[in-house]
Amino acid sequence: MWRVSFLCSVASLATLAFVSGCGPGGGAPGPSEPMAVSLTGAGASFPYPLYSKWFSEYHGAEPSVQISYQSIGSGGGIQALKTRIVDFGASDAPLSDEEASNMPGVVVHIPTVVGAVAVVHRLPAAKQAIRLDGPALTAIYLGQIKRWNDPKLAVLNPGVKLPDLPITVAHRSDGSGTTYLFTSYLAAVSPEWAKRVGAAKSVNWPTGVGGKGNEGVAGTVKQSPGAIGYVELAYAQQNKLSTARLRNTAGAFVEPTVPSTTAAATGAVERMKDDVRVSIVNSPAPGAYPIAGFTYLLVYRQQSDQTEGAALAGFLQWAIREGQAFAVPLGYAPLPEGVLAINQKAIQGLTYQGEPLVAEQGP
């Protein structure tokens, strides 16, 4: 996917558009007509439902700015940013220190919202919410629990008639921030998982079938009786998939919701003042859902084009302010107030040739 620009036209490849600024009839823009700017991004499918809404709404508010985005997974987004074929990347897994040092420029992480990774299943006969804990979920993904009526699952679900049905395990096949959050949880609750598999955007799965993107995993679960998988909450809601209640560190069985996701972020703000790359997996907060995390837009601190850089900074400011109003209806938790101030400072730090792209102002 290469971006190609011409004087007064736009060429695009694989749905990735690049910049052009042309007035009506192909001439230069008039005095009151802003230069058209097209920004490109790629990465996480985790926030894609929200980002799609944001890009549409922002274009309505700022018609001169068009944003195109490919939902290719966090790993793909990071690689696209590294090779500079996009203006921004998106990832649910923040860059490690090593990954950051291998980028061609300093990368700024902008947390956008908080999301939950829902454990979804297809058990047509189940009349009640299925309850799982860390050890049971880990055993399923290690291939040790193979059927739904396993005694270890039955003890967690008293009064629920679990079917004698094989469990089809679904997981991501691509590099994924959703996988990073999910495997971080399994590694946190299971020393065996931490040793055998670990936590990463891509792992060697002990069992199961892979699906590309949150869309692929949701599709596999939806089409396979007895299946279990993990997807961002918005995909569970859109596909009308049943979600399991997970036992958190406080001992409560919690379903993935906006309030339980918000609870998981409680207390993270102070830590984020030093570094926004924090984990809120397995939060100790009493009402917290245990598989939750911030998702990030990744941008270069030093922008290579002043017009595009200013347009990108303008969108980021809109996203952390007006954009937050679109989070809850799509199943995401808005950013805590303190994170907005952290983001504003980061956006004010974006520069072109050493000069700031936005004026200093409050969050």
Q: How many domains does the chain have?
A: 2
Report percent pLDDT > 70 for the chain: 89
One domain, residues 302 and 284: no
- 266 falls in which pLDDT band (50, 70, 90)? confident
Q: Please report whether residue 362 resides in a domain.
A: no
Residue with tokens 């997807």: 231
Q: What is the pLDDT of residues 121-157, one digit of tens each?
A: 999 767 789 999 999 999 999 999 999 999 999 999 9
Q: Please report whether residue 363 resides in a domain.
A: no
Residue 346 domain boundaries: 4-113+294-356
Domain end point (choices 292, 318, 348)? 292
pTM, 2 dp: 0.86
Q: Which amino acid is at 309?
A: G
Q: Report the C-alpha gap between 280 and 276 in whole angstroms.
A: 11
Residue 18: helix, strand or coil by DSSP?
coil
One domain, residues 242 and 350: no
**C-alpha radius of gyration, the chain, whole number:** 22
Residue 273: helix, strand or coil by DSSP?
coil
Q: What is the pLDDT of residues 315-355, one digit of tens each?
A: 999 999 999 999 999 999 999 999 999 999 999 999 999 99
**pLDDT of 22 above 80:** no
Q: What is the pLDDT of residues 225-262, one digit of tens each?
A: 999 999 999 999 999 999 999 999 999 999 999 999 99
- Looking at the DSSP assignment, which residues form a beta bridge with residue 312? none
